[in-house]
């Protein structure tokens, strides 16, 4: 019999072998996964919906995560776990379950001696949405790493705080820390090296990574961190304590629960369906879809040694880890497209009450004193728009405003806080996309450059439905993933990407024409934002003299 006659048999046997999957023994019990193929045909094993903690429901709702008791039979790890309670961004339906503390593991080798670098992704979603099922792994599994994607509590159930030890808040961050402990205890069973763990994330996931970089409770659980478009001090990612307490008491009232004492509020909230918390979250949207993140992490200094964030993030030193930090050049397109949509309707609405509505749109409402809001709004419009109303001719300048306030200046401040203490590699992603994600926020044809999160299509497959990368875009995907996975393996992304060495910020400028080092990150814009009476600017982190 010829080889050509045998080959279909071998193909069938190979397919059956792939379908059979693989069984792994971890501390909680046995898991059966499936065998898959990456973009380039690399074989790997997928284990989905692994519970890393008990379901935070009933008596465990609004409590710290607790160890999962495990299982006796072999557990099929072939389907994603439930997402946490949230509103679907696209169809606005209520989805999810309290039973949502799951993670996925993807590995090319089931061998405890493989000791592959581990990359743990923390999803975004403004701390009120997101899950692991959209973080498809076909691209990243071309590389020789173990990839983990985790879920964590979000919204009210993840971040509401009464500023006491009954409902202290920061549960979502505690879930992430708990998941990282699970990784330390179990990842060797999947061929991963617990001494080479890199955490990375985008948007709220990036802010979460930044929180873990400065959290004493996360020390030693990871060794490298990649912060992609968001920091702990982005105005949508940090809630001052007084505001957090007011919102927690308002939640109790809206749910028909007592707000005092907290023990009675907790007892009442444990009996309420999770959907009700999502409906109540919508009550905090004061103007259109703003503010973006009404429930986010806080400083929980009142917890003493148990604090996740014991001080303002800019007052805390980083854990001893290597860091990549950066953002996209037109992150602010996300709000510029909103004001541009429908013939600039929201722009005209904003101009009627500029101090209040600009603060809501940029999430500065909690970062600026009420008496300063009008002054800040006027100065922002004067600097970025020459005091002109927003139009198709200058909406890209409003995008610059959004970029700097929401992402750029907080990233700059974080860089100043870190670069003298740990190796810090900064980047500016400036690659114009072929297809934009702006339609998520309101399509606008007058904008330019890469918007918020648009680099993610090169890290995870099928982010945009029916969108296929071109050969050149596949090359870009591999180049980005090579930088990220080299960093995960060695702590250094490349020989030519040098760390930050001055307040001017040395950074890798990623453009359509190539990648090259540059120095001086939007210096005029950063100096201007430095002069605004923002909460972040109470922390002067510059090491070198500068003229304002």
Q: Which residues are catalytic?
A: 203, 331, 452
CA distance 491 to 432: 28
User: Which H or E run contains 373?
Assistant: helix 373-385
What's the distance, Cα to Cα, between the start and end of the chain in Å? 82
Tell me which residue of 223, 200, 127, 197 sits closest to 169, measured CA to CA.
127
Q: How many alpha carbons fall within 13 Å on the CB side of residue 241?
A: 12
Q: Is-contact 225 324, C-beta < 8 A? A: yes
Tell me which residue of 374, 366, 362, 441 sits closest to 406, measured CA to CA.
362
Burial 348-377 (b: 16+ CB within 10 A, else e): eebeeebbbbbbbbbbbbbbbeeebbeebb
DSSP 8-class letter at 420: T
Compute CA 416 distance to the chain's CA centroid, rounded to the nearest angstrom.
Answer: 21
Q: Is-contact 197 184, C-beta < 8 A? A: yes
Tell me which residue of 39, 33, 40 sits closest to 19, measured CA to CA.
33
Structure tokens at 480: 């980005």
| Phi, psi torsion values for 118, nearest 5 degrees | -115, 135
What Å distances lie between residue 398 and 62, 335, 392, 401, 536, CA to CA? 39, 8, 10, 5, 21
CA distance 455 to 429: 8
Q: Is-contact 103 148, C-beta < 8 A? A: yes
Cβ-proximal residues to 483 (8 Å cutoff; 6+ apart), any chain: 493, 494, 497
User: Which H or E run contains 519?
Assistant: strand 514-519
Q: Is-contact 498 230, C-beta < 8 A? A: no
272 by Cβ neighbours in 10 Å (0-12 / 13-18 / 19+) ranks as middle
CA distance 298 to 371: 23
CA distance 396 to 400: 6
Strand, coil or helix: 274: helix
Cβ-proximal residues to 166 (8 Å cutoff; 6+ apart), any chain: 261, 262, 263, 265, 266
Q: What is the dihedral sign for C-alpha 306, 312, 317, 320? A: positive
What Å distances lie between residue 77 and 80, 159, 183, CA to CA? 8, 29, 16
According to DSSP H, which parts of 49-142 are helical?
A: none
| Phi, psi torsion values for 476, nearest 5 degrees | -60, -45
């Amino acid at each position: 019999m010829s080889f050509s006659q045998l080959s279909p048999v071998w193909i069938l046997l190979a397919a059956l072998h792939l379908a059979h999957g693989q069984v792994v023994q971890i501390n909680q019990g046995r898991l059966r996964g499936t065998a898959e193929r990456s973009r380039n045909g690399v074989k790997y094993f997928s284990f989905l919906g692994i519970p890393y903690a008990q379901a935070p429901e009933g008596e465990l709702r609004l409590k710290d995560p607790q160890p999962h008791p495990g299982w006796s039979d072999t557990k099929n790890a072939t389907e994603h776990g439930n997402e946490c309670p949230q509103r679907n961004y696209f169809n606005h339906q209520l989805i999810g379950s309290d039973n949502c503390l799951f993670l996925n593991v993807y590995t090319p080798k089931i061998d405890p001696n493989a000791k592959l670098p581990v990359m743990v992704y923390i999803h975004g979603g403004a701390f009120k949405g997101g899950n692991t099922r959209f973080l498809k792994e076909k691209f990243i599994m071309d590389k020789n790493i173990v990839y983990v994607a985790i879920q964590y509590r979000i919204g009210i159930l993840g971040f509401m705080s009464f500023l006491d030890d009954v409902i202290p808040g920061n549960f979502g961050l505690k879930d992430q820390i708990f998941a990282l402990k699970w990784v330390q205890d179990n990842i060797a069973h999947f061929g991963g090296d617990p001494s080479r763990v890199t955490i990375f994330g985008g948007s709220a996931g990036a802010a979460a990574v930044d929180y873990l970089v400065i959290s004493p409770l996360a020390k030693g659980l990871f060794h490298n961190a990649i912060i992609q478009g968001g920091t702990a001090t982005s105005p949508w990612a940090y809630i001052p304590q007084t505001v957090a307490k007011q919102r927690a008491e308002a939640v109790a009232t809206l749910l028909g629960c007592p707000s005092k004492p907290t023990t009675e509020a907790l007892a009442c909230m444990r009996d309420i369906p999770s959907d009700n918390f999502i409906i109540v979250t919508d009550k905090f949207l004061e103007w259109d879809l703003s503010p973006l993140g009404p429930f986010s992490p806080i400083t929980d200094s009142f917890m003493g040694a148990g604090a996740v964030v014991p001080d303002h993030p800019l007052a805390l030193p980083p854990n001893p880890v290597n860091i990549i930090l950066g953002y996209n050049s037109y992150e602010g397109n996300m709000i510029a497209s909103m004001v541009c949509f429908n013939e600039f309707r929201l722009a005209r609405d904003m101009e009627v009450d500029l101090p209040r509505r600009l603060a809501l749109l940029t999430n500065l409402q909690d970062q600026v004193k009420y008496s300063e809001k009008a002054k800040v709004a006027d100065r922002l419009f004067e600097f970025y728009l020459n005091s002109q109303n927003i139009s198709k001719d200058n909406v890209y300048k409003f995008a610059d405003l959004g970029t700097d306030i929401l992402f750029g200046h907080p990233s700059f401040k974080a860089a100043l806080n870190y670069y003298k203490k740990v190796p810090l590699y900064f980047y500016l992603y400036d690659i114009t996309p072929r297809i934009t994600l702006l339609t998520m926020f309101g399509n606008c044809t007058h904008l330019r450059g890469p918007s918020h999160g648009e680099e993610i299509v090169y890290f995870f497959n099928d982010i945009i439905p029916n969108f296929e990368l071109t050969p050149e875009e596949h090359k870009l995907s591999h180049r980005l993933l090579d930088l990220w996975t080299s960093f995960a393996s060695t702590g250094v992304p490349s020989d030519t990407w040098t760390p930050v060495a001055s307040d001017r910020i040395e950074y890798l400028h990623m453009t359509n024409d190539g990648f090259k080092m540059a120095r001086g990150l939007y210096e005029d814009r950063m100096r201007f934002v430095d002069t605004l009476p923002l909460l972040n600017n109470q922390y002067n982190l510059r090491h070198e003299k500068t003229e304002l």
